[in-house]
Amino acid sequence: MAEPTEAGRSFDDEALPHLDALYRVALRLTADPSQAEDLVQDTMLKAYRSWRQYRPGTNAKGWLLTILRNTFINDYRRRKHEPIAMDLEAVEPHALYRSMQESDPEGTFFSQIVDDKVLEAIDALPPDFREVLALSDIEGMTYSEIADTMKIPVGTVKSRLFRARRQLQAELYSHAVEMGYIQARESRT
Amino acid sequence: MSRIDCDQALAHLQDYLKRELTEDLVVEVRDHLERCQHCFSSARFEESFFLMLETRARRETCPGELRARILAALRAEARGD
C-alpha cells in the first residue's frame, strides 16, 4: 500500500470511507451502473498513484471527487449522448412553484415518492444540473467546495443549483399528481 | 437597510437553508420569514425537498463486489504488478 502521509494517515484510511459517495456520484454522472463501477475503480487507482500530491488534513472527499470528475470528462463523457438542457424559461418555474405550493404547502408529497422515482428524476436532469445537485444536496459539499471541484465561479454553482432544484421539484410534482398523491390546483397568482 | 420582499426572500431561501448566505442576508431572510406566513410555508416546502434528497438519494452504497475488486486492484498496484 502507499506509504502513510506525514500525518500517519494511509491511503486506505483517507480514501476508502468515501467509496459510497464516489459510487453514487459516478452513478449520477454516467447514469449507467457498469460504467459507474469502472469510473470508481479508475478513480481510486489514479488517486492511489497521485497519493503524494494529496495534502493531509485537506478535504479528501473533494480531492477524490475532483479526480472522479476529471476522469469522467476525459474518458467517459464522449461515450454516450447526453440529454440537451431544457429551456427552463419555457416551463415558467415561478408559476409552477406557486401552484405546487398551493397544492401541498409543506411539500409532504416529496416523502411519498419512492426512492427509484427520485433517482430516475435526478438522472433525467441535464448533466450540468445533475452534477451540482448530486454534489450539494445529496453528498453535502459546500458551494465553494463544488466551485473548486468543477472549476466554476460560486455564483454559477448557485444559479445552476437553483434551476436544477426547481426543475427536479417540477418533475416530482408532476409525478405526484399523476400518481394521485396530491390534487393539482391551478395557481391563482 | 431596506427590508427584502417576497420575491427576494424566495430567491435566497434555498441558500439560506443550506447556510450559504452572508450574515447580512441571513438576518434579512430570517426577519422576512418571521413576518411572512407564505414564505415561511415556502421554507417548509424547501426543507421537505432537501430532506427527501438527503435521505432517499443517499441509500445507494458501493457494491461489495466492486469494493473487493478495487481493493484487489490497489494491492496489485502496491506490489507493482
Contact A101 B18 (CB under 8 A): no
Please report, as a single letter, which amino acid is at residue A3: E
Q: Do A95 and A71 have their domain in common?
A: no
Query: What is the spatial distance between Cα B24 and Cα A100, in angstroms, rounded to a whole number?
Result: 30
Q: Tell me the nearest-neighbour CA distance from B1 into chain A, angstroms.
A: 23
Question: Is residue A108 in some structural domain?
Answer: yes
Q: For a pLDDT cut of 70, what percent of chain A falls above it?
A: 84
- Give B69's contacts in chain A (Cβ within 8 Å): 37, 41
Question: Is residue A138 in some structural domain?
Answer: yes
Q: Do A167 and A115 have their domain in common?
A: yes
Task: Count the neighbouring beta carbons within 10 Å of the beta carbon of residue B67.
Answer: 17
The tens digit of pLDDT for each residue in A141-175 reads 999 999 999 999 999 999 999 999 999 999 999 99
Query: What is the spatial distance between Cα B9 and Cα A42, in angstroms, rounded to a whole number?
Result: 43
Question: Is residue A154 in some structural domain?
Answer: yes
Q: Do A20 and A47 have their domain in common?
A: yes
Query: What is the spatial distance between Cα A63 and Cα B18, in angstroms, rounded to a whole number?
Result: 22
* Domains held by chain A: number: 2
Query: What is the spatial distance between Cα B10 and Cα B8, in angstroms, rounded to a whole number?
Result: 5
The answer, for B42 touching chain A at a CB cutoff of 8 Å, is yes
Q: Do A64 and A98 have their domain in common?
A: no
Pick from A1, A105, A101: which is nearest to A51 by CA?
A1
The tens digit of pLDDT for each residue in B22-75 reads 999 999 999 999 999 999 999 999 999 999 999 999 999 999 999 999 999 999
Contact A20 B61 (CB under 8 A): yes
Q: Tell me the nearest-neighbour CA distance from A24 into chain B, angstroms.
A: 7
Residue range(s) defining the domain that contains residue A43 = 6-78
Question: Is residue A189 in some structural domain?
Answer: no
- Give A107's contacts in chain B (Cβ within 8 Å): 44-49
Task: Count the neighbouring beta carbons within 10 Å of the beta carbon of residue A64.
Answer: 24
Question: Is residue A15 in some structural domain?
Answer: yes
Contact A41 B74 (CB under 8 A): no
Task: Give the DSSP letter string of A92-157.
Answer: -HHHHHHHHHHH-TT-GGGGGS-HHHHHHHHHTS-HHHHHHHIIIIIT---HHHHHHHHTS-HHHH
Task: Give the DSSP letter string of A36-87.
Answer: HHHHHHHHHHHHHHTGGGSPTTS-HHHHHHHHHHHHIIIIIGGGS--PPPP-
Q: Do A99 and A165 have their domain in common?
A: yes
Contact B73 A113 (CB under 8 A): no
Q: Is pLDDT at A91 greater than 60 in this prediction?
A: no
- Give A158's contacts in chain B (Cβ within 8 Å): 15, 20
Name the 3-class secondary structure at B57: coil
Question: Is residue A186 in some structural domain?
Answer: no
Query: What is the spatial distance between Cα B63 and Cα B65, in angstroms, rounded to a whole number?
Result: 5
Domain's final residue, options A51, A78, A105: A78
Question: Is residue A29 in some structural domain?
Answer: yes
Position A7 scores a pLDDT of 43
CATH number of the domain residue A30 falls in:
1.10.1740.10
The answer, for A7 touching chain B at a CB cutoff of 8 Å, is no
In the A/B pair of chains, how many CB contacts fall below 8 A? 104
Question: Is residue A1 in some structural domain?
Answer: no
